[in-house]
Structure 1
Amino acid sequence: MKRYFFVSFLIVILSSCTTQMEVVDKPIVFDNQRIELTKEYLQQRYNLNQDSPDIVPKMIVLHWTAIPSFTKSFGAFRNSMLPNFRPEIQTASALNVSSHFLVDQDGKIFRLMPETTMARHVIGLNHCAIGIENVGGTKETPLTRKQVKANIWLVNYLASKYDIEYLIGHYEYTNFEGHPLWLEIDEGYRTEKTDPGPEFMRKVRRATREFNFKPVPTK
């Protein structure tokens, strides 16, 4: 009897780990204006002159939106131009912030743009980083277990598809200053970040340790 329950339990665990999640394409505006602003960002921030806004992913960066709903979070990324209420980053570029994926509180995954096109989501590293945003992150709207599960699935998907070297939380980005991947030319252009939190990162890292991502550099 004990053996029967153990085998049944094992089957349930293995089934849950291999559950296929659905990625829904919900593209943000990526018109000629956004393409040109992205190429301009690559040139002005990183000294990269490119004919297209393509990137070679080497890193996955996890975020939270600090916005309580999917609709408002998506709306923050949708347009090409940065809105006027972001003066702390507006001087660096008129390009709007964005991310490749947006995960809702119920764990549903939405792809906002191609994975190999540059999104503005992490200073100094956009040229090589895929961004995953999670709706919420405030005291009133904390990140959920379903979002943890969705992020684990996404990291597995991306790391199996690309040569990903690093998995980091947004709050860890400044640890890469001086690293070969760090290309930001302005030493004064930094913002303080806490997303998505050490506990969220611990859970995702523990579940994806089979990929042997490189450790985050220490300052």
Structure 2
Amino acid sequence: MTADGRSRLAAALLAVACAVPEPAPAPPVTGPSGHVQSNLPEATGPIDHAPEDTSPPAPPPASEPPPPPPVAIVDRPITYDEARIARTIAYRQAHQDPAAAGIEIEPRMIILHHTGGGSADATWRYFDRPTIESGRKTIAAAGDLNVSSQFLVDRDGTIFRLMPETSMARHCVGLNHVAIGVENVGDLEDHLLTDAQVAADAALVRHLKARFPAITHLIGHHEYLAMEGHPYFVERDPKYRTRKADPGPEFMAKVRAQVADLGLEGPPVR
């Protein structure tokens, strides 16, 4: 075939290709109500613009309450030698448990007191003596172990630790075996307890509760008789009771207001 013939054949084939009609577009699809529906496939790709999230932010995870601030405690131990230990055990056997063989206690409550005087040094010297003075007839008749407490709070709020918290002190009838005693220097007349002592007692109570979670009660010495009948109260001598006024309702109310969040119980309501 000549070149001229090949050109004419190519032109003819091109004309036939151009004559093939394009397919007609699909008719629109109408729904039951007659509205035109799209016949395009549903989009399966990502949405370009997600709807804005207007829900409130999630709360932060719960956290443990902060630990109580450290309390400044000055160690000023009273004499607690073998002779005093023996007297303490003898007291426990007479008043709490005939089988008692040690001085250790598990603190379950805190009892606040006042000393009846205006000097921390004089109180320390008094507690340092191992035996009770004979002039205190009711107390001396119940045993020769001298009175004491685990803590002494001076009028400026200084806290002295006189003996370990888990060693028994003789400071409250029926409750010595479960109670930590806190003496405050002062009285109800000449040496009224101070705001510094309120703050110090509250801080000490908070500290002791953190150290000894089993503590459930906070009372004043004047409230102790209301504990009679409670499982904590143990006194084998039914005649051995004393009447106390320290540290008084006003002082206790102030301290309790500062530690209300601890949920400590007071004496049972009678």
Q: TM-score, normalised by structure 2?
A: 0.72
| 1:207 paired residue number | 258
Deviation at 1:186, TM superposition (A): 1.4
1 or 2, which has the higher helix percentage? Answer: 1
Over residues 7-31 of structure 1, what are the superposed CA-to-partner deviations in whole Å (9 max), with x where a residue is unaligned?
A: xxxxxxxxxxx76441010000101
CA distance in 1, matches of 2:223, 2:179: 13
Return the letter of the residue paired with 1:187.
P
CA distance in 2, matches of 1:150, 1:177: 28
Q: CA deviation at 1:79?
A: 1.1
Q: Which runs of 5+ in 2 are unaligned?
A: 1-67
Task: Confirm or deny: 8 A CA contact 1:39 1:49 kept in the other structure.
Answer: no
**TM-score (norm: length of structure 1):** 0.89
Deviation at 1:176, TM superposition (A): 1.0
What residue is the counterpart of 1:14 in the other structure?
none
Q: Which amino acid aligns with 1:173?
A: Y
**Is 1:115 equivalent to 2:165 in the alignment?**
yes
Structure-1 residue corresponding to 2:18: none
Residue 238 (structure 2) pairs with residue 187 (structure 1): yes
Secondary structure in 1 aligned to 2:177? helix
DSSP 3-state at the match of 1:44: helix
Q: Which has the higher contact order (CA 8 A, sep 6+)?
A: 1
Q: Percent identity?
A: 46
For the 8 Å contact 1:60–1:131, the answer to whether it is kept is: yes
1:103 is aligned to 153
The CA distance in 2 between the partners of 1:182 and 1:115, in whole Å, is: 19
Q: Deviations over 1:121-147 (max 9, x none)?
A: 000000000000001114111101111
In the alignment, which residue of structure 2 is the partner of 1:37?
A: 87
**Larger radius of gyration, structure 1 or 2?**
2
Q: Does 1:165 align with 2:228?
A: no
2:206 to 145, 156, 159: 156
The alpha-carbon deviation at position 69 of structure 1 amounts to: 0.7
In the alignment, structure 1 segments of 5+ residues that lack a partner are 1-17
Q: CA RMSD in A?
A: 1.2
Specify the alignment match of 1:124 in structure 2: 174
Question: Which moves more between the two structures, 174-183 or 46-55?
Answer: 46-55
Moved over 3 A (4+): 18-21
The alpha carbon displacement at 1:75 in A equals 1.4
